[in-house]
Amino acid sequence: VKKLGRANYQFFSESLHKDSRRQLSLEMDLHKALERNELVLHFQPQIDQTRNRVVGAEALIRWQHPVLGTLAPDKFIPLAEKMGLILPIGDWVLKEVCRVAALCQSLALTEIEFSINISAHQFLLDSLAENIHQYLEEHALPSALLTVELTESVLVKDVETTAAILTQLRDVGVKVSIDDFGTGYSSLSYLQQFPVDELKVDRSFLTGLSQYKNAEAIVSSIIRLAKDLGLKIVAEGVETEQQLSFLRAKECSIIQGYYYAKPLEAEALIAFIKTFNRV
């Protein structure tokens, strides 16, 4: 199969430029990726550094392409959005996260929470909250185990629609997180208008700690803001001891990043949790 695949790619190279050829084959392949079981979720642990325990994980999608190898979401999620495939893919992600969450429950890893990235189209789908509710029920999962992560670009649509959807999600009992906080715009106005539970400090601000004089003040302010609003705060993309100790000093205890672990396949995640939490 692999050889045939390569031959096909070769064939296209005769007639098309390299970039458009790659794009065209990716589009054709993405149509089949779901039914061929080529999509996988990796899970990046979230650690509470004060309790020194894994408390959650963020689901991050990968595409195991038969010819190109493992593709990161940046390589195909925008394409999926453009092709209208993001809804079936997003739905698969929801189901798969519930499956793995149920697996953790069955292994007595009951405190592990799961975060899911939701795209703009998926957020605006009428049945999002209903679907999540259904999958939770199917696995008898407590809804508080799930957090949906929304970027600021998802939230800037129209205020009434956004507020209605967020209310539906909260009625189901899942939590709402603002991803990449501070990198979009009008952040503060929607904190005033919308019910959210969590802010995620974007990696760029943490990278900035060693580069920009202002970064410390920005990160401190975001953490302070979350605390004053009674929101959970998660720092993502934490790579170094320096970043970790800065966050510790500012009382940001939930940490996600290469410092502790890269995104892991479900089995490796479970092994990681067992070792880390000594259970």
Contacts with Ca ion, residue ranges (CB under 5 A)? 117, 149, 179-180
Q: Write each residue from 18 to 57 as x if it is in contact with ligand C2E (CB under 6 A), else as -, in one continuous string.
A: --------------------------x-------------
Which of Ca ion, ligand C2E, none does residue 66 bind (CB under 5 to 8 Å by kind)? none
Nearest to 62 by CA among 50, 47, 48, 74: 74
Straight-line distance from the first to the last Cα atom of the chain, in angstroms, rounded to the nearest whole number: 42
Asked if 182 is part of the footprint of ligand C2E (rule: CB under 6 A), the reply reads no
Count the helices and strands in the chain (H runs, E runs): 13, 10
Asked if 94 is part of the footprint of ligand C2E (rule: CB under 6 A), the reply reads no
Q: Shortest Cβ distance from residue 78 to ligand C2E (Å)?
A: 9
Q: Shortest Cβ distance from residue 41 to ligand C2E (Å)?
A: 7
Using CB under 6 A, pick the residue from 25, 49, 117, 187 that binds ligand C2E.
117
Extract the tokens encoding 126.
Answer: 């009428």
Using CB under 6 A, pick the residue from 114, 154, 263, 273 that binds ligand C2E.
263
Asked if 179 is part of the footprint of ligand C2E (rule: CB under 6 A), the reply reads yes
Q: Shortest Cβ distance from residue 61 to ligand C2E (Å)?
A: 4
120 touches 171 (CB < 8 A): no
Where does the chain show beta strands of DSSP type E?
39-48, 53-65, 69-71, 113-117, 146-151, 175-181, 198-201, 232-236, 254-256, 264-265
Angle at 182 between CA 181 and CA 186, to 5 degrees: 105
Q: Shortest Cβ distance from residue 14 to ligand C2E (Å)?
A: 33
Nearest to 207 by CA among 235, 186, 226: 235
Contacts of 125 (CB under 8 A, 6+ apart): 87, 131
Nearest to 233 by CA among 251, 246, 216, 218: 251
Asked if 77 is part of the footprint of ligand C2E (rule: CB under 6 A), the reply reads yes
Q: What is the footprint of ligand C2E within residues 225-244 (CB under 6 A)?
A: 236-239
Interacting residues with ligand C2E (CB under 6 A): 44, 59-61, 72-74, 77, 93, 117, 119, 179-180, 203, 236-239, 257-258, 263
